[in-house]
Amino acid sequence: MTPYTLSTSNRETNLSQFVAIERCAKGLHARIVCPTVGQREAPIIAGEIAEALEQANMPRGSSFVLDLSGVTMLTSMGLGMCVDLRRRADAAKFKPYLTGSSRSLLDLFRMMKIDRLYTVVHGRDELGAILG
């Protein structure tokens, strides 16, 4: 997997402190690296991932994986960000996947019915097959 290069506007403001985006053979892998996604982090992460989805130039049906393995808490803004990223992935013709969420986050997604928006991936082997 190769790191995704951001536009010069994002590089100048150093927004990559919250999310690491990697371009893979079959899609994009966005790994959130901050433990809490709240009011400050959610718009930054969403904007950065949205830019990556728009500029990816990948074939229709490519995979978009949202990796929450580093996240321990999501506020309502973080939940809204997940819904927004799913909508943006659909607009860019990516198939959305969710991986790395803890049991408590997965229960929260189920309660809010956000898990229905993504295909939940549990194992590294599955993730490797999805991203290539």
Rounded to an integer, the average pLDDT of 111-122 is 90
User: pLDDT tens, 64-111?
Assistant: 999 999 899 999 999 999 999 999 999 989 999 999 888 999 999 999
Rounded (5°) CA angle 82-126-29:
40
Contact 2, 104 (CB under 8 A): no
Identify the domain containing residue 46 by its residue range.
2-131
Residue 33 has pLDDT above 50, yes or no: yes
CATH number of the structural domain spanning residue 44: 3.30.750.24
Residue 38 has pLDDT above 60, yes or no: yes
Cβ within 8 Å of residue 74, ≥6 positions away? 36, 37, 82, 105, 108
pTM of this prediction? 0.82
Q: Which pLDDT value is given to residue 61?
A: 84
Number of domains the chain is built from: 1
